[in-house]
Chains A and B, each alone.
Chain A
Amino acid sequence: MQATTQALPHAAPHEAHHEEAGFWSQYIFSTDHKVIGLQYGITALGFLFFGFCLMLMMRWQIAHPGEPVPLVGPWLASSLGKMAVNGVVSPDLYNSFGAMHGTIMVFLAIVPLAFAAFGNYLVPLQIGAPDMAFPRVNMASYQFYVLGGVIMFFSFFIPGGAAQAGWTSYPPLALAIPTDGQTFWLIGMVFLITSSLLGAVNFIATVIQLRAPGMTWMRLPFFVWAQFVTAFLLLLAFPPLEAAGVMQLMDKVAHTSFFLPTGLAPVGQLANVSGGGSPLLWQHLFWFLAHPEVYVLILPAMGIVAEIIANNTRKPIWGYKSLVYAVLTIGFLSFIVWAHHMYLTGMGTRIATFFQTTTMIISIPSVIILTCMFISLWGGSIRFNTPMLFVMAFLPMFGIGGLTGLPLGFSSSDLHLHDTYYVIAHFHYIVAPGTIFALFAGIYYWFPKATGRMMSEFWGKVHFWTSLIFMNLIFQPMFAQGMAGMLRRMADGGANYSAAKVPGAIGGLSQGMLGLHTYILWAAVGLGLAQIPFIINFFWSISNGRPTNSDNPWQATTLEWQTPTPPPHGNFAQVPVVYRGPYEYSVPGHATDFTPQNQPG
């Protein structure tokens, strides 16, 4: 037991006047970063599940167009009425599911989980701080998130249903659909963006100002660096989307024409708007955020991976400085690559070349980060526990995702691949067996710190192997489908473009390509079933898991493991002093194979 760790698990905080907080202020309106982190985590996991269910219904419709959804069909029909007659996913409903699956997964599930949940819980602990710099702002950011999420969720149940124009919400389509779902989406986004901005300010100020004595910038765990850069991306990239969201809301509600061109005639009749606007303007403002946003999705995951690799190889991460400079470079470059999502908008060759060049350059620091992680395994004394399995799988999965981004980054090959299933496969490989695996790893890894119990290793390994297999079965075929020309967002799965439907057409989708939909559906169901052991394991282990015999069961070096379990309000009894770097594993001459950061000498 380390000298600085409290012997008593419920060490009384220092302030004599600190009263026992009631249920509401302790669990619901808490300003404690750990409680807020857990709140974000539980809410985000709930949305992750909901987004997954939307996807299952979509995959059903794609594989069996026009057939009622099994099990939930009757419920769909009764709650959604016209949109789901007889329990069939209508094309409009399919579009809603598609738009909301993307929105929910990105803004309500992954970012809140990766950035807000893990970040809030761990960053103050890892830097030796008592809490975030602005605890009440932290609470407010969670509340805005919930508000935004509630608005998004309820948009399904208004007449006309939820937004239908993709998570990208391009006008004129987004404005031409005559229902209110889009308005709800825009208002929800404003709340979510506000939540992210408040969170970003908090994170950056905390890392700058509240590092413990001795915790220099180059002694920070890589996880903290990753979260720091992520916070900057959110801070500076989100506001243009907020502006654009306000403008689209004005277009929808006040009938302005920010994004509506002159001469627009939906359903053959000239629209009663002033015109003079630019649909491309929306795309620029949207992608100005949305590109940095994808780095927001991956950087916290990379941070988690680094922590777990160092711990389970019992050696320092290889290339700490390279990792830090690489992540800073990614953050910087991510702001000037966005138009690679817009190659097919008729842009000129000079600007296309500019964006193509920056896009190629940004792949370099990403490769550096992945390489450092791989090299870190070399010569390690590897412990193959559940967190380690997930992060080891992360490496090749993210590798596949990243490499398949290259043909998309070249404007010439993107001509063929844009808006096809290839794109879907590319980004899902990065986020699904990429980020989500890292997040699973993080949950298994930090669960004992938050609860004092271990999750079941056996069921963790079951969860891992089944998830890995099914993830690949779902997304691998999509590369082939994309290269064969299957487009995204088709409610009938591409049946209208099949060679059977249009005989003699060049590039008609073959039965084989369409048949893959059925396999993908089964794989998706399999993936869903594979999560059941995880969900049961998670909740069961909170009260029944094997108790850890120490505050530091993984024998880790970073500061969060040098606190009581769970860490009390205020985290550290006294201000910790940091004497060494974050990954002092297997230091020659030491009695133990790890040396905590706050160990003097």
Chain B
Amino acid sequence: MSAHTTHAGSTSTAQPHVDEHFSHHVRRYLFVFYALLFGTLITVGASYIPFGNREINIAVALAIAIAKASLVACYFMHLISERKMIYGILGFTAFFFIGLMFLTLWSFSDNPHNTITH
């Protein structure tokens, strides 16, 4: 998002341009808001659907959560128009976060086979 310099009380000709530019953004924010509200309701609703397998409920809930989180990150936090530097920082963070989660879980599930007792 480009930084528009505004000064308190200024009546520059840039002002209406800024307002019009921003009302476009404001509409977008409202759409995201409605989407988030909707997402919340379907998350709750989906949790009551008996898929049979609990894992499917987990997958559905996480998928909706990721979608909602992406909306907040991309639009409210302006990530969709952010700079490469920020993407870089977040990319590394995501990699290490996944590493922590995945490797820790793997270590708990990877057990020694064919030991003396079993």
Contact = CB atoms under 8 A, between A and B. Distances in A.
B59 interface: no
B47 interface: no
Interface string A314-343: 000000000000000000100110010010
24 contacts: A236-B93, A240-B100, A278-B108, A280-B107, A281-B104, A284-B107, A288-B100, A335-B96, A335-B100, A336-B99, A346-B111, A346-B112, A347-B107, A347-B110, A348-B107, A348-B112, A348-B113, A349-B110, A349-B112, A350-B106, A351-B103, A351-B106, A351-B107, A351-B110
Interface in B76-106: 85, 92-93, 96, 99-100, 103-104, 106
| Ranked 8 nearest A-B pairs via Cβ | A348-B110, A351-B110, A284-B104, A335-B96, A351-B107, A350-B110, A348-B111, A348-B112
Contacts of B110: 347-351
Nearest to A204: B89
Interface string A345-357: 0111111001000
B72 to A, nearest CB: 21
A232 B107 contact: no
B85 A339 contact: no
Contact of A208 (B85, B92, B108, B111): B85
A9 B116 CA distance: 76
A192 B96 CA distance: 22
A346 B108 CA distance: 10
Contact of A335 (B85, B99, B107, B111): B99
Contacts, number: 43
Contacts of A284: 104, 107
Interface of B: 85, 92-93, 96, 99-100, 103-104, 106-108, 110-113
A280 B99 contact: no
Interface residues of A, number: 22
A281 B108 CA distance: 9
Given A284-B107, A347-B112, A348-B110, 6 more contacts: A208-B85, A236-B93, A336-B103, A347-B110, A350-B110, A354-B103
Contacts of B103: 336, 339, 351, 354
A181 to B, nearest CB: 28
Given A336-B99, A348-B112, A236 B92 contact: yes
B20 to A, nearest CB: 32
Nearest to A352: B110
A236 B96 contact: yes
A353 to B, nearest CB: 10
Contacts of A278: 108
Interface in A196-226: 208
Nearest to A355: B103
B9 to A, nearest CB: 26
Nearest to A237: B96
B16 to A, nearest CB: 33
A348 B115 CA distance: 11
Contacts of B112: 346-349
Interface string A240-254: 100000000000000
Nearest to A353: B110
Interface in A89-127: none
A170 B110 CA distance: 22
Nearest to A278: B108
B40 to A, nearest CB: 26
Nearest to B108: A280
Interface in A272-300: 278, 280-281, 284, 288
Contacts of A280: 107-108
Contacts of B100: 240, 288, 335
A232 B106 contact: no
Contacts of B106: 350-351, 354
A348 to B, nearest CB: 3
B92 A339 contact: no
B83 to A, nearest CB: 10
A232 B85 contact: no
Contacts of A288: 100
Contacts of A240: 100
A406 B99 CA distance: 23
Contacts of B104: 281, 284
Nearest to B109: A348
A51 to B, nearest CB: 30
Nearest to A350: B110
